[in-house]
Amino acid sequence: MSADAGADARGDTRDDAASGELVLVTGGSGYVGTHVISGLLRSGHRVRTTVRTHGPTTSAAAGVRSAVAASGVDPGGRLDIVSADLTTDDGWDDAMAGCAHVHHVASPFPSVQPDNADELIVPARDGTLRVLRAARDQGVKRVVMTSSFAAVGYSHKDGAEYDESDWTDPEDDNPPYIRSKTIAELAAWDFVAKEGDGLELTVLNPTGIFGPALGPRLSASTEHIRAMLEGEMSAVPRAHFGMVDVRDVAELHLQAMTHPAAAGQRFLASGDRTVSLLWIARVLAEHLGERAARVPTREFDDERAREAVGVTERVPILRTEKARSVFGWTPRDPVTTILDTAESLFRLGLVKS
């Protein structure tokens, strides 16, 4: 089955020698996946992407096609959609066949944290191992995996500075999503070290991902902006966190795919400043006028509310010099990211303007 997909990554990050190679993107109908696909297509690659086998697969394929149209990329015959699910081995060897590189983007992210942590941990860990095992068996050169700051900065440490050397302790009493991302990444590194047989792994650890949506499937972060604009939040929890633009995450994926210095490395991805939910609301109000008339104007202190959105009250200091020095990566200004997010929600009809 063929389809098209894409997004907006700045600049031409392609390696000319690799241009035209077949690349697999897992979870291609998702928020990050559509942007990664778009960047690859813009760079001249052929792309194969997976959608889940359970549920309306044809609807997922249509969503990818719609994202292509929104991104302005014409893939021609360079994009295929196949069925594969993180919870089963079926389809993964076929999905990997002939692929030079893999971007493992798919991972469960619930709107509500489950009572049973294994509902998230097991598919995140086992799905990652399925992807890596099939990649190894099919001769893939490198897997670039989207992990999260959740795997970096949610265990106690002296001070508030974080970089790639930091790890969340998977045994700590964190919400299931945070534990799932940590356990999945640890399992990935362990697999490559013990069973990888030469397979290369690069991991990206983004903070809160914002930026324009190409379709109705939103990240948890962009869902907060939608809720603010729709007046569904009368106040926001007091919390501070890093922000990174989804287009900048996609750019890192493309650069990490072929850069010699990226093999075996983690890269923390975040913008130039730490933000808060109230700061986001104020940016919306300042720049969007009447369209942001319903955004919250106050915050409250509630530990359970912070836990629900996966943030803390402490103001983190995020060191991203590694991505900047290795790739020459320069993230977008967070105000631009927030406003582009909002405009995409209006354009898609997800918020009434």
Pick the catalytic residue from 141, 181, 194, 352.
181
Tokens of 348: 């898609």
CB 120 within 8 A of CB 176: yes
The widest CA-to-CA distance across the chain, in whole angstroms, is: 58
| CA atoms of 305 and 307, how far apart (whole Å) | 5
Stretch (H or E) spanning 142: strand 142-146
Q: Residue 14, SS3?
A: coil
The answer to whether 181 is a known catalytic residue is yes
DSSP 290: G
Q: Residue 5, SS3?
A: coil
Buried b (16+ CB within 10 A) or exposed e, 330-344: ebbebeebbbbbbeb
The residue written with tokens 């490198």 in the block is 142
User: Could you give the residue numbers annotated as active site?
Assistant: 181
